[in-house]
Every structure is written in structure tokens, then in C-alpha cells.
Amino acid sequence: MKRDRKASRRRRDSIQAYTLTQALRVLPYVGSIMRSLREWRLEAMQYHRSVRRIADRPGRPDRSTLLELEEANRSRAAAEERFDEALHDLHTLDVYCLDPVRGEALIPFVHDDQLAWYVYDLFDDEPLRSWRYHTDPLDVRRPRAEAGEKSDDEPLVV
């Protein structure tokens, strides 16, 4: 399925800021997408390694080596295409993948009139255990209790 590339290039001026309730509601879908992203990134990395190994073999490649290289390249491209499609699906939710292999994503919300991010962790028993301000270094993690949990279901736009 071809996507409208021009539409994806257009920049939006705002992103959906989630309340805690809304973020918890989309977690099953985000988890599903993050599992797919991880699987396809690892698959693409595996095929990339295969391509490199085949290409680095000493001597002139024979016909079977060239066919093997072409098949590995085709498989790598297919895995990267699936990864890109899943990443696009995640971005339509205004959720952003931080590290697909580690299963980390960022879900936007507003705290003290500043853009902040819930840090989603695919492998944590409590996937939204921490958060960070947009201006914080990427490795900063604050306990979710510090965020002052809002109970309203009004979507905010940043």
C-alpha cells in the first residue's frame, strides 16, 4: 500500500498531548506497534548483517552468491518497509519511538505548562513508570507520581 508521501512531509503545528487516562487507554495499541517495530528492526538488522557478510566474502562472487545477496537485500528492504509502516502508525497517534530494540517510546503530555513525555517501556511491568520534560536529557527519568496525575479526559494540544 502506497502512502501519500507529500502529506507525510507536511509539518503539523501541534501534537496531541495526552492525559494519563488517555495514555493508559492507548497502551495496548502502542504495545502492539512497539512489539512489531522491535521485531522488524531486529529482522532488518539480521538481513543487513547477512548482506554485509556475503558482500565481504573474499574473491569474485559466483552466481549463487549474487542470488543469495539479492535475496538478502530484498528481505532487508521488506523488513525496513514494514518497520517504516509501523512507525508511521505510531506517529499518527503522536507517539514517538525512542529505541525500537529496547522497546521505548515517548507519549506527549503537558506538565506545568511545559511539554513533557511519558516514557513507555515495552519490557516493564508498569509501561508508563516514568516521564521526562522535553528539555531534559534523554536519559532523565522521573517517577510518574511526580507528574501530578490529571483525571480530566479533555485532549490538550501543544
Ordered mean pLDDT values, 10 residues apiece, the chain (158 residues): 53 79 94 95 92 87 88 91 95 94 95 92 92 90 77 42
Q: What is the pTM of this model?
A: 0.77
CB atoms within 10 A of CB 85: 15
Is residue 126 within 8 A of residue 108, CB to CB? The reply is: no
pLDDT at 62: 87
pLDDT at 153: 42
Q: Is residue 21 part of a domain?
A: no
Instruction: Determine the 3-state secondary structure of 115 from DSSP.
Output: strand
Cell of 20: 494519563
pLDDT at 154: 42
Say if residue 128 is in the same domain as residue 147: yes
Give the domain-ending residue among 54, 75, 93. Answer: 93
Distance in angstroms (rounded) separating the CA atoms of residues 122 and 127:
6
**Structural domain total, the chain:** 2
Give the domain-ending residue among 69, 93, 117. Answer: 93
Say if residue 144 is in the same domain as residue 110: yes
Residue 88: domain span: 27-93
Say if residue 79 is in the same domain as residue 134: no
Give the domain-ending residue among 72, 93, 114. Answer: 93
116: phi then psi, degrees, rounded to nearest 5: -135, 170
pLDDT at 151: 43
pLDDT at 6: 56
